[in-house]
């Protein structure tokens, strides 16, 4: 059996088309949606990621004011740059490029971001909103996975989802999301990790298996129920080489599977812009109640 390939690009394109339409609607009302970015240091890869996001922001109808701090910036410098964007009513979303140089505390900086402008959806207040079912920016990778499953009409409601990994970025928030009472969720969710040494006992019965461990090749064909959907989210980089959690041979057993490259990644970026346009809409409704 060769699995159906769940490419992220068409999902991202559909989400971004909606974002562009909403951004245009804001512009028609005289609001210029703004996604601000902060880059600290001179890492080429990080600077490249910021350029890509700024280019995409422009294509979608956003402006993206930018602050570039030197590699020797202090934690206070970073907090000052965040506060300046927080205090600017023309800025709706804020992105701090991760990672920041080793002497800086990213989590401490994230705590100072206005939660309503947190386009990564990772501020503790937003994770709290998610846990109690209040609206707010959603963590991008889990939201992208839910959108991917919905786009390809993979049945989730009432089905068994097993997530390998309980990390703050993917496993934990995704478990909360897919267990919620919504048509694209509503699943029986199990989370496994290093505390469950026989985790394959659970993954083998999953209708949908999400790999979010960051351990190259950890998911092999014998861990997967024949015909199951397998979403590879965890990756490790060795230099520029991407090493995914899901071994390529899993495609012979799975019914549907994300590709080695171009699966969850593009949907993650699309969700960042969905959070950004939603932030601009919220801010506008507050400042211009219509
Ligand atoms: N594709 C994307 O767009 C995207 C975006 C963000 C992150 N990621 C990737 O997603 C992965 C997960 O990130 P995260 O921040 O959510 O998680 P994380 O904090 O890196 O945690 C990894 C989780 O996997 C579990 N794990 C690790 N080795 C294991 C093993 N041998 N057996 C069973 N469980 C194991 C850990 O268990 P314990 O809790 O017991 O230690 C932990 O719960 C990372 O590889 C990250 O690079 C991808």
pLDDT at 33: 97
CA nearest ligand 1 atom 10, residue? 234
d(CA 138, CA 16): 16
Close Cβ partners of 49 (under 8 Å, ≥ 6 residues apart): 97
- The answer to whether 218 and 233 have CB atoms below 8 angstroms apart is no
Residue 1 pLDDT class (50, 70, 90 cuts): low
- The answer to whether 108 and 95 have CB atoms below 8 angstroms apart is no
CATH domain 30-120 topology: Rossmann fold (3.40.50)
Q: Residue 248 is encoded by which pair of tokens?
A: 């390529």
pLDDT at 289: 43
Annotated binding site: 165-167, 235
Residue 267 pLDDT class (50, 70, 90 cuts): very high
Annotated binding site for NADP(+): 165-167, 235
Bond preceding residue 10 cis, omega within 30 of 0: no
The predicted-structure confidence for 154-189, as pLDDT tens digits, reads as follows: 999 999 999 999 999 999 999 999 999 999 999 999
d(CA 128, CA 180): 14
pLDDT at 278 over 90: yes
What are the beta bridge partners of residue 192? 164
The predicted-structure confidence for 84-135, as pLDDT tens digits, reads as follows: 999 999 999 999 999 999 999 999 999 999 999 999 999 999 999 999 999 9
CA nearest ligand 1 atom 21, residue? 167
Q: Enumerate the domain spans of the chain.
A: 30-120, 138-267
Q: Give the ligand 1 atom nearest the CA of 195.
A: 40
pLDDT at 85: 98
CA nearest ligand 1 atom 29, residue? 194
CATH domain 138-267 topology: Rossmann fold (3.40.50)
Residue 8 Cβ contacting ligand 1 at under 6 Å: no
The reply to whether domains 30-120 and 138-267 share a CATH topology is: yes
CA nearest ligand 1 atom 12, residue? 212
pLDDT at 59 over 80: yes
- The Å distance, Cα 158 to ligand 1 centre, comes to 25
């Amino acid at each position: 059996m060769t699995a159906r390939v769940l490419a992220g690009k068409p999902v991202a394109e559909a989400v971004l088309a909606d974002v562009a339409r909403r951004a245009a609607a804001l512009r028609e009302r005289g609001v210029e949606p703004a996604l601000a970015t902060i880059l600290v240091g001179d890492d080429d890869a990080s600077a490249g990621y910021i350029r890509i996001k700024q280019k995409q922001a422009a294509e979608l109808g956003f402006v993206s004011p930018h602050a570039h701090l030197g590699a020797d910036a202090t934690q206070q410098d970073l907090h000052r740059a965040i506060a300046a964007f927080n205090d600017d009513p023309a800025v709706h979303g804020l992105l701090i490029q991760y990672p920041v140089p080793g002497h800086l505390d990213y989590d401490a900086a994230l705590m100072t971001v206005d939660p309503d402008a947190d386009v990564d959806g990772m501020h503790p207040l937003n994770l709290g909103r998610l846990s109690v079912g209040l609206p707010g920016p959603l963590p991008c990778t889990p939201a992208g996975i839910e959108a991917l499953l919905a786009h390809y009409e993979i049945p989730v409601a009432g089905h068994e989802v097993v997530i390998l990994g309980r990390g703050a970025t993917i496993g934990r928030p995704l478990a909360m999301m897919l267990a919620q009472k919504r048509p694209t969720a509503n699943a029986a969710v199990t989370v496994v990790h290093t505390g469950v040494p026989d985790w394959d006992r659970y993954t083998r019965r999953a209708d949908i298996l999400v790999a979010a461990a960051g351990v190259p090749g950890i998911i092999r064909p014998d861990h997967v129920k024949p015909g199951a959907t397998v979403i590879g989210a965890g990756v490790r980089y060795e230099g520029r080489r991407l090493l995914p959690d899901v071994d390529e041979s899993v495609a012979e057993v799975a019914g549907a599977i994300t590709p080695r490259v171009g699966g969850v990644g593009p949907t993650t970026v699309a969700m960042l812009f969905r959070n950004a346009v939603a932030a601009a809409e919220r801010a506008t409704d507050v400042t211009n109640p219509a």
